Chain A
Amino acid sequence: MTHDDTGGSVPALRTTRLGKRYGQLWGLRDCTLSIPAGATVGLVGPNGAGKTTLLEMIIGLRKPTEGLVEVFGHAAQANTAATLARVGYTAQNHPLYPDFSVADMFHLGQAMNPSWDMALATGRTQALDIPLKRKVKTLSGGQQAQVSLAMALAKRAPLLVLDEPVASLDPVARLEFMREVMAQVAGGGPTVMIASHVVSELERLCDWLVVLTHGHVQLAGPVDDLLAGHQLLTVPRATSDADLPGVPIHRTDSDRHSSVLLRTSPAPLTAQPNPDWQAAPVSFEPLVMAYLQRPFRASDSGNRTQPTGPTTKVMSR
């Protein structure tokens, strides 16, 4: 099953210097991304980092102040039936009409989406023991999230966007929800973009990562490339940042040593330049945490730096 309607070479999602200003403040700025079809993208960032702003511009719910969003090569803000058909979306807190029954919600989905897959929608809720006749407001938060996901999936859109889908759920409901998403992804399903605070859950799910803080993309790329492009280096405390073979992202000083998470991309750190240094590979969660904790420099906002990725040049020192 292929969802790509314009040929394999067109990215599922491309943003070009995308920006959104709210009054005087930029909610998102200078966001340039190119995400291939079939990727499962984890979008991580603290509250207010601009995740929802980015996602809503991808859906076409908000107009960019500057820049461009293209979904499978078509501008998202056109808000035509064709652009809307390309994105399935579950908003934060999975809004549904409280006095609708589950069946009513699916009926709405069918009435408003020509490509609606009713068998998929009812199949999902049946498998999860959610009665179709129940009013939405009588369902648990987890069940509402599942209904919301079923609606986004049944739209059969080639790009699926999930905004904090598990934020309000208890751990069991979280697990079930993520399992559902994973089952979809595994089945050669849509390109998925999922925003979440829960880094550990993204690790299992995602093969692409975007870290967003203060309205700016800090890190973006395939997870494997990003992990390969970073090293965890233990150095004597006296070592200055300038001597390190890469860009220090996060540094923890202890009595004698410092632990530095270092960006070395694209060339991995092969030889140990100094016998006092100990290098170790980086895993997913520390990498994300390092970028989330990285102090935001005001000068960053003026720079037109490319987001870090496999194709990005090494930053000169």
Chain B
Amino acid sequence: MIWVSWRQHRSEAMACFGLLCALAVYAAVLGLSMRSSFGQNDLATCLVRSQGVGCPNSVAAFDNSFGSLVNIGFWAVLLLLPGLIGVVVGAPLLGREMELGTWRLAWSQTVPRTRWLAVKLAVVAGGLIVLGAAMTLLITWYRVPMDRLTGHFIHNAYDYEGFVFTAYILCAFGFAVLAGQLLRRSIPAMIAALVPWLAVRIFVEFALRPHFMAPLTLSQKCPCGIKGGNGMVDVPPATGHIGDLIVSSGGTGNAQLTFYQPASRFLEFQSIEAGIFVALTLAALGTAVWLLHRRAS
């Protein structure tokens, strides 16, 4: 059965590997050029010494060179990518069997169909986890210099580092497997899975993520001792510590109140969000297995 799963998804695996290679080239070129630029201006030492307060020009120069390229452009492209990978791999898993009528062949061999599906799901999901982890590692590696300015909490970093990127892929995959089963067609299933996936993805990022944990509060005397820079992100942020995410700030009298998520919460946030998407994945795949098991029609 493992061979069968591999043989059926071989071309998808090749395509994913090609995608990974393309990303590796992009990451290597941009990552190395960022690293060399980062080293030239002695930004590293400055960041360690003063969180970037002492070298605003270097920060601004680096940000001007790479900020929009690495952050805005990359985010726009990669927003849809995990969803596309997930639905392209997931929709045909049952949808194509229905389209071609090969379900009659597959389910009349000496393997009960629920086991057939379970093995296929395990093999393909395993492959997607490897792919997601590899892409996460590449992106994390190439972003290292940028992350030292921005921290990991801005969405350009957060959405592609840690566990969430892989969880996004899995969730789209799960939706697409179920959609393929219900619609009995691959292409409509891809669309039918991508739309709710994107809705969930955006809803979680903008409506749920800010509330995963209650922000901490920092009270400072005004005028604030630390002032942010003027690039893509403030370096350092109002808390004076790179990587903290400023949620909001407001003044009461002489005091400036800053609500923020400390950089140290990155992995907790990642775990919560990945957990949401993995739970959705399991719900979708569990439904697919259950429907196949009780399949009455």
Contact = CB atoms under 8 A, between A and B. Distances in A.
A80 interface: yes
A298 B102 CA distance: 36
A59 interface: yes
Contacts of B7: 100, 104, 107-108
B109 A112 contact: yes
A61 interface: yes
A98 B100 contact: yes
B258 to A, nearest CB: 58
B30 to A, nearest CB: 36
Scoring A99, A100, A112, A113 by chain B CB atoms within 10 A of each residue's CB, the highest score goes to A112
A275 to B, nearest CB: 56
Interface of A: 22, 56, 59-63, 79-81, 84-85, 87-89, 91-93, 95-100, 104, 107-109, 111-115, 148, 151, 155
Given A61-B107, A63-B296, A155-B110, 19 more contacts: A22-B297, A61-B104, A63-B295, A79-B112, A79-B113, A80-B112, A81-B110, A81-B112, A88-B108, A89-B104, A91-B105, A95-B100, A95-B104, A96-B102, A107-B7, A109-B109, A112-B4, A113-B109, A113-B110
B111 A84 contact: yes
A113 B111 CA distance: 7
Contact of A107 (B3, B110, B116, B297): B3
A59 B105 contact: no
A115 B111 CA distance: 12
B102 A85 contact: no
Given A22-B297, A62-B297, A155 B109 contact: yes
B295 A111 contact: no
A167 to B, nearest CB: 13
B101 interface: yes
B112 to A, nearest CB: 5
Contacts of B109: 84, 108-109, 112-113, 155
14 contacts: A59-B104, A62-B295, A79-B113, A81-B110, A89-B104, A91-B105, A95-B102, A108-B4, A108-B109, A109-B109, A112-B111, A113-B110, A151-B105, A155-B110
Contacts of B207: none
Given A63-B295, A91-B101, A97 B111 contact: no
B1 interface: yes
Closest CB pairs A-B (n = 4):
A112-B109, A91-B104, A95-B101, A89-B108
A62 B111 CA distance: 16
B104 A111 contact: no
A114 B110 contact: yes
Contact of A59 (B11, B108, B295): B108
Nearest to B116: A112
Contact of B101 (A60, A63, A93, A108): A93
Contacts of A89: 104, 108
Nearest to A116: B110
Nearest to A64: B296
Scoring B1, B7, B8 by chain A CB atoms within 10 A of each residue's CB, the highest score goes to B7
Contacts of B108: 59-61, 84, 87-89, 91
Contacts of A81: 110-112
Interface string B232-275: 00000000000000000000000000000000000000000000
